[in-house]
Structure 1
């Protein structure tokens, strides 16, 4: 009988095996198992600039009345040296597709961008891949497309298309008003960069549905469920489904299963005041966050699945009135450390650029441009105040907020510190563009497009 293979001692694994590998191969080894990932991270064998450590800026999709949607990049000026933020550079010159239909960001996940349903792009390495056409017609409803990618688990990415009721009808399998939604099995199209092709998969539901189709869909409306933010966390993909009764889908591609997670009690009953609920991720948890505009509160709930059941726990309840008053009175910033990068300053100097990447763009989230907010002044607040959540820092308890004045601030949830990042305003010759969606961007130099 053969003896089982012996495990390598940690020092041999580190020095004789992992220590001899080039950076990209070492990054791939982090995906093998938890023990290897811990060994690499513990001794800091891998260069810090290859890891997802800190945001270098924010991509913003802007909608204009007389033009196709387009995207801008808002960040420190030095970020332009390491991030190729001009989306035009990924489209063939003179392409009619770009000129008439635009090429905007539909999804962002761990350093990769999905442009509409056509291109997957890594702006940090300027590598990109064109997707083959999806077998199901999307009719420019690109919110059905998602981009699950985690370089710590696999170098490959997926593109996930969640089907809507209309898709079932077009396939000759119409659902009636009493049908469960989402159904089980739920049909989804999955593209894998490992195989280079689309595959139609049936996902089995664990637990109950969100309701019947009549209960979930808007009354007297043909509007489909609208899939908004999505986050990839510990091998599971969480998707926010906005409809008559909002819910979250927890999808695991590896075993073709999904689960419906209900929102916290009362969230769907007070949508007029919550305005827009955001599904976000920090280092150790999935968050649901919204600004309660009636009272000027930022409320953040964390998702606890430790007991095997999804439970929402209130994590932060922040009064934003003083913050809004401060920047309303001080509308024009003295310092604007972050700006809209209009050009493409990305250089391609190979290893020299990568070696200095961490120092080139990383913003100081401990001390950079701190602002003291006087919370003792009389606070003025109106439900008409236009304030929105941009996103979260992936490894800190920091929320990025876009204020009605156009200011973007970093609010430290655990200390109430505030950093003024600058003024985001998109002027045009005849009108002002309307911000449609934000994507907090962390560069990634791991994975297939590294």
Structure 2
């Protein structure tokens, strides 16, 4: 195989199944370069398998619990322990964001539980003048099928109160255009924070600062979702910001909630699968309910489609009975 020219090797690789092609990337650096340069591997065709997931407590913030499936014959079980970090403080293990098996923890630690490797990111620059009061969320971008490198985005959020030095007013448009991440984008390729800005598609903002100043939900964590070159950010008014990392543009997508009022104890989260981006609402009326929407991006107008509306009354009744015994 070493004597074959690159073009002929590429023709051979094109005839392989997606799993075989993905395995070929790991054989030699030269093969990996041929496959990646010609974009032969389609990550969306690879079989996806959930080997486990982390669960975080919302009140006491204990260490994250890892739930995994039973190991199948011939397949190595994934361990989710974070003991290799050498810390016993539960707050040090708090997961800020995650993406394709990588975890971003508090205090700027990037962790791969599978390989049990981790790195501490350099400190991010200070916010620009007038933005000191704007707290920042983090968004992690990592696609091992495209590149071994990852990026970390600092995403501004509106505080419950604006400081006297802020250049924004409550009736100011949010997000501003051109939207800026304050120059806070970390790249593992260069190992430093770099400036990067994004332009609002259409040029019209859909919210104001006042819309984002929701004191009851200021402390709720809003994770991001990365899928097919775009970063989806859960905003404070439950809208979604879709940042296209290929052309440095972003658009605002309205919340899937129409008449529903999300209370302080209700939970709205973003997620993804092979079909696209989902939004799930878990709320407690008389009995807990779960409602799930799928983001339809196949047409010119992006919209949410309701896929599930499930009552958890039976589960709640059984839990109440169990707790009373």
Question: Structure 1 CA distance, aligned partners of 2:283 and 2:13?
Answer: 52
Residues 11-410 of structure 1 correspond to what in structure 2 (within 5 A)? 11-13=11-13, 22-23=26-27, 25=29, 31-32=36-37, 34=39, 36-38=40-42, 53-62=48-57, 69-76=62-69, 82-91=77-86, 99=89, 102-136=92-126, 144-165=137-158, 174-188=167-181, 189-207=184-202, 208-218=204-214, 228-242=222-236, 245-264=237-256, 266=258, 269-272=260-263, 275-294=266-285, 296-325=288-317, 331=322
Deviations 1:141-162 (A, max 9, x none): 9861111112223221110101
- Mapped partners of 1:266, 1:55: distance in 2: 32
Change beyond 3 A, Cα 1:285–1:24? farther
In structure 2, relative to structure 1, the CA distance for the partners of 1:305 and 1:113 (3 Å cut) is: same
Contact 1:57/1:73 (CA < 8 Å) preserved in 2? yes
Counterpart-to-counterpart distance in 2, 1:101 and 1:9: 50
Secondary structure of the corresponding residue to residue 222 of structure 2:
strand
Deviation at 1:261, TM superposition (A): 0.7
Shift in Å, 1:286? 0.9
CA RMSD of aligned residues (A): 4.0
State the shift of 1:176 in Å: 1.2
Query: Structure 2: how far apart are the matches of 1:327 and 1:69?
Result: 22
SS for the counterpart of 2:49 is coil
Gaps of 5+ in 2: 1-5
SS of residue paired to 1:12: helix
Is the 2:288–2:312 contact (alpha carbons within 8 Å) kept by the matching residues of 1? yes
What secondary structure sits across from 1:307 in the alignment? Answer: coil
| TM-score (normalizing by structure 1) | 0.56
SS at the partner of 2:170?
coil
Quickly say closer, same or farther: Cα 1:124–1:211, change in 2 above 3 A: same
Mapped contact 1:226–1:241 kept (Cα < 8 A): no
3-state DSSP of counterpart to 1:277: strand
Q: What TM-score, normalized to structure 2? A: 0.75
Residue deviations 1:371-430 (CA, integer Å, cap 9, x gap): xxxxxxxxxxxxxxxxxxxxxxxxxxxxxxxxx99xxxxxxxxxxxxxxxxxxxxxxxxx
Contact 1:240-1:247 within 8 A present in 2 as well: yes
Structure 1 residues 64 and 287: alpha-carbon distance in aligned structure 2, compared to 1, 3 A threshold:
closer
Paired residue total: 300
2:3 maps to which residue? none
**CA distance 1:28–1:130, shift in 2 (3 Å):** farther
Cα separation, 1, equivalents of 2:69 and 2:300: 42
Q: Is the 8 A contact 1:82 1:124 kept in 2?
A: no
| Cα shift at 1:21 | 5.5
Task: Tell me: CA distance 1:29–1:74, structure 2 relative to 1, closer, same or farther (3 Å).
Answer: farther
**Greater RCO, CA 8 A, separation 6+:** 1
Contact 2:10–2:34 (Cα < 8 Å) also in 1: no
Distance 1:254 1:231, change over 3 A: same
Shift of residue 252, structure 1, vs aligned partner:
2.3
CA contact (8 A) 1:143 1:228 kept: no
